[in-house]
Every structure is written in structure tokens, then in C-alpha cells.
Chains A and B, each alone.
Chain A
Amino acid sequence: MGLAKRIIPCLDVDNGRVVKGVQFVDIRDAGDPVEVAKRYNEQGADEITFLDITASSDDRATTVHMVEAIASQVFIPLTVGGGIRTCDDIRRMLNAGADKVGINTAAVFNPEFVREAAERFGSQCIVVAIDAKKVSAEGEAEKWEIFTHGGRKPTGLDAVEWAKKMVEYGAGEILLTSMDRDGTKNGFDLGVTRAISEAVHVPVIASGGVGNLDHLVEGVTKGKADAVLAASIFHFGEYSIAEAKQRMTDAGIEMRL
């Protein structure tokens, strides 16, 4: 008996549609976000993450309406990320029904924003998203660095130190994406997941690289993640949330069934 590990399907939303992850060139349409969220809710998802990858700011209003529609029908936690740069952005999403917001690039350029947001809205709703890439060479001690702009721009920031700093500034949870693995279907980068999970006292969500259910299991057993996030393996019916939970349970991981 105890706290269950969480499975979180992620909806990457562009122009009002769920699409395959950011890293994919051949973007495939995976449906209407509200319908997709309802389906995952019925399948037993523990939370839902809505990632707005729309480029133009005109479509932000669409995002707010979708978050409202999801929050009115789906009674599990909802995290909204993408384009969160100011406290007004956070307030808008929380008022629309989001429970947490994901702050990514804005935290890198202005760490004080995380502190301000946590003080204003409470750490419980501030998720700091970290995009990390391995920068150590084969045979060296492992080292990961923070990258921005979809993994294209290095920042010189050490990923583990950055995670610790963000927690100190008030992050209530860390969403860690391995940019090396994102979209590869080769599994999480377990090294960075474990290094960060052991370095901070807040929950860590592993993301990037899930290709099968064993990858989800490893994220928890080897990566020490508190939650695992995946997109494409669920979107196109390869696996259901229930199948994922069964596999985790069979591996001895506590799940909400």
C-alpha cells in the first residue's frame, strides 16, 4: 500500500489538433484534444499533459477554450505547457481549469520567473520542464546539459544542477525530457533521469523516447522516476493505458488500477 507511480499521456497540440511529438518531421494527426483526453481518462490515465506547440500567438485563445473543455469533462489532473512566459499566462491557464503549468524556456532565460510563479500560485502547480542532452563523450563521467529551442541551442547549464536550482526556486515537480531520445522510441535516458530524481526531493516525470511498455517500467525501476510520460505509443493505438498499467503492475510497480 502506498503512493502509485503515474502514467501520463501527453497531447502535443498544434492548431487545435493532437499531433505526434515535436521531434517528428512527418506530423501525423492524432485527433481532437478533447476527445483524446476523454479517451485517456476513461482508460485510466493518472494525469494528462497538454503541450501547446502552436507557433502563432493567435491560437492561444483556442488553447484556452480547449483547456476549459477538457477540464469540464475530465476529472483528473491536467498540466498545460507551451508558451507559458508570464504570471498572466499562468493565471489564464489555471482559470481555464489547468491544475499545473509547465514552464520551460522562460525558466532558462529568467529563473526568477519560477520563484515569482511559485510564490504567487504555489509550488504545487509549477512544473519546470527540462530539456536535457548528454554532452559527455563515451568513457567520460556522464554529464547532461540544458538545451532550448527544441534541443537545438545549448545553454552551458548542467542539467542536474539546474534541476536542483529550479526546486530551490519553487518548482513542485520536474518534467525531464531527454532530447537525445525524444522521438527515437529507444527508451528513456535512464542515467539523467536517475541522477535528477536522486538529486531533488520533488517528483520527477520521465519523458522522451518511449517505444514500448518495458521502457515505461525501466523509467521507474532504473530511472527512479515518479511518473512516466508518453505520447505516440498511446495515440495510435499501439498500447492502451490499461495495458501499460498492467505491465507496470506485473513488474511489481504500484499502480492505480
Chain B
Amino acid sequence: MSEAKKSTVAVIDYGMGNLHSVAKALEHVADENTSVVVTSDPSVIDAADRVLLPGVGAIRDCIGEMHNTGLVPSIRKAMAEKPFLAICVGIQSLMSHSEENGGIDCLNHFQGNALFFGEQHKDHDGSKLKVPHMGWNQVKQTIEHPLWKGIPDNARFYFVHSFYVVPEHQEEVAGTCDYGLDFCVALARDNVFAVQFHPEKSHKDGLQLYKNFIHWDGKP
């Protein structure tokens, strides 16, 4: 009798704290054949079936820690070959460059930059908007994608960020959001998907996205 193959989701721990809620949310939607492991071990990341790149805090520390921990080669390898999901600062770290901290070069998986909303950010009618963009905003799905399965278009997700990504290639945009300007909140290319919001804090729809990721074969 053959046992069902156990599949592993590796949550990359590169020292940027609070991975508890990401891991708990994944475990909440994982079936008995899926195990979730929080790891900073390149061999565990290399052996995993799926990889999730979280991110909190400032981009300089984020990119700095990825390099300090020696995990960049494993991150690039995972992005080249298996289902890969980046969240929050994770999406910004995959861009070419970020304006934060005086300008930081990032991993350049997606071409384009992360820009600051600015402290004088205004809504379309000229009224003041708070920065960070914090709270529940609607996400417009601009493409069909396995990770959007079962999630209504314009569903609300939880955001907390002051920088937003501007990709060079419009065909890579998977979702947008409106906050004074229409900006990209999800990117997709091949086996890599990245979101600006926090699925692990976005109740049912966020959990659905994690569930979709756990079952994703990496095909767009």
C-alpha cells in the first residue's frame, strides 16, 4: 500500500520576525498531507514543494537579512522551479529597486520599482489620505489565476504599507487596488505570485488564497 506523498510548504525565516500568523494560517488550511515548516535552512527550502516569502519591516533590513543569512540563492532557485508566493514587503523585495531607506536594490525578479505614497498623499477629490495605507481595501482581479479561485472580485484584504510596486510589464499585474491612485497589489509570472496585502490577516478570503497556494501546481 502506498502512502500519499507528503507535501511541504517552507516559510522562509530570514530574521524579520513574526512568522507565527503566516504559519498558523497555512496550517489552518493545510490538509493531512501538507506540512508547514518555518525555516532558515537552505536545504529545507530547496527540498520543499512550495515556498512562501514573507516580509515585514523596512526594505533595507529585509534585503540585508536575505543576503546576511545566505538565503538569496535558495530564494532564486525556488522562484525558478516551484510554486512561490511572496507577501507584503516580500513583493517589494522581488522588484528591481525600492525608494525606501534612500534607495535599495532588490532581487529584480519583477522589473519595476517600489515607490512611496508620500506623507501628503491625496484622494481623487483632493482630500487627505493617511499613510501607511492601513486597513481593508478592495482588490480588483485583473487576470484569472488559480490563486484567485473561490475569491470574489473586489474582495477586501488587509493592507499595511507605505510603499507600492510599479511593475514595468503590465501583463504581470494580477490585481489592483485604489488608494488615491490605482496601483498594483498582485503580480504573477509563471510559478511566482506576489501580493502586497496580508492573506493571513484577511479572514476567509485570505485563508482561501493560502488554500489555493497549497494546492497550486505552479501553472498560471
| Chain A contact residues, CB within 8 Å of chain B | 1-6, 41, 46, 68, 71-73, 75-77, 91, 94-97, 99, 121-125, 172-173, 198, 201-203, 226-227, 256
| Chain B contact residues, CB within 8 Å of chain A | 17-18, 20-21, 24-25, 28, 56-58, 119-121, 123, 128-138, 154, 156, 158-161, 178-179, 198, 200-203, 206-207
CB neighbours of A75 from chain B (8 A): 21, 24-25, 28, 200-203, 206-207
Q: Closest 10 A-B residue pairs measured CB to CB?
A: A122-B57, A256-B136, A97-B20, A256-B156, A4-B136, A201-B119, A3-B137, A124-B160, A94-B18, A203-B130
Contact of B137 among A4, A73, A202 (CB under 8 A): A4
Main secondary structure of the interface of B (DSSP, over half): mixed
Known A-B contacts A91-B17, A203-B130; the reply to A97 vs B24 at CB < 8 A is yes
Known A-B contacts A75-B206, A95-B18, A122-B57; the reply to A4 vs B134 at CB < 8 A is no
Q: Tell me which of A72, A96, A256 has the highest count of chain B C-beta atoms within 10 A of its own C-beta.
A: A256
A-B contact pairs, 16 of them (CB 8 A): A71-B21, A75-B21, A75-B28, A75-B202, A76-B158, A76-B203, A77-B158, A77-B160, A77-B198, A121-B57, A125-B18, A172-B134, A198-B128, A201-B120, A202-B131, A256-B156
Q: Are B206 and A2 in contact, with the CB atoms below 8 A?
A: no
> Complex formed: what's the CA distance from A96 to B17 in Å?
11
Known A-B contacts A75-B202, A77-B158; the reply to A3 vs B20 at CB < 8 A is no
Contact of B130 among A46, A68, A99, A202 (CB under 8 A): A202
CB neighbours of A2 from chain B (8 A): 123, 137-138, 178-179
Q: Are B136 and A121 in contact, with the CB atoms below 8 A?
A: no
Q: Are A96 and B20 in contact, with the CB atoms below 8 A?
A: yes
Instruction: Report A179 CB to chain B, min CB distance, Å.
Output: 24
> Complex formed: what's the CA distance from A1 to B176 in Å?
12
> Complex formed: what's the CA distance from A64 to B96 in Å?
39
Q: Are A46 and B17 in contact, with the CB atoms below 8 A?
A: no
Q: Are B130 and A97 in contact, with the CB atoms below 8 A?
A: no
Q: Tell me which of B21, B123, B129, B158 has the highest count of chain A C-beta atoms within 10 A of its own C-beta.
A: B21
Q: Are B17 and A77 in contact, with the CB atoms below 8 A?
A: no
